[in-house]
Amino acid sequence: MIVLVTGGARSGKSAFAEKYAALRAREGVYVATAEALDEGMSRRIALHREQRERTGFAWRTIEEPYDVPGVLLRHADAPVVLVDCLTLWLSNLLLREEGETDVEARIEASIEALTETLSGFQGRVILVTNEVGDGIVPAYPLGRVYRDLAGIMNRKVAAVSDEVFLVTAGIPVELKRLAFVWPEAEARG
């Protein structure tokens, strides 16, 4: 089962994803994609670790900023895998590739590798991501590329997910059950 949890910054996505995992299993693998590149991020990572420890859920944390598909393949037999978060993973890839040729195509290939891995995934995975396109248009070209790639990634991951939750103000809503279904004849036209 593939579950995508999306929403704005500080909306309660991670807390919801962790609680949801605890409802489905007794232990799990936590894939942390954040890198402690500055003091603020170091504090945020430490806070997330402390919060996970306080819950009593048995997490095995793997810090992996780049190879999320590989981690999923190596831990497909885990009771649950939680990836937090895909937009940080995307940012890591984008910053690593910055200045290279065909950056967008290379990142889209990484997104495709992720969705292919998810499509064949036999275990239970929960993926946390941010909705970054609901705000203002970024002033810088790299920011606009990031926003666009995040939208593409979220759409593609949602398409292969069994459940998609939008968390707003700490309230999770499952979107796939509410999704509009095109009448068969109109969908083909």
Is the model's pTM score more than 0.85?
yes
CATH number, domain of 49, equals 3.40.50.300
Task: Please count the structural domains in the chain.
Answer: 1
Catalytic residue among 48, 89, 146, 153: 48
Residues 6+ apart with CB under 8 A from 11: 167, 168, 169, 170
Residue-wise pLDDT tens digits, 68-106:
999 999 999 999 999 999 999 999 999 998 888 899 999
From the annotation, which residues make up the binding site for GTP? Answer: 7-14, 32-34, 49-52, 63, 84
Question: Secondary structure of 106-159 in the HEC alphabet?
Answer: HHHHHHHHHHHHHHCCCCCEEEECCCCCCCCCCCCHHHHHHHHHHHHHHHHHHH
Residue 18 domain boundaries: 2-188
**What is the per-residue pLDDT for 45?**
83
Judge whether 48 counts as a catalytic residue: yes
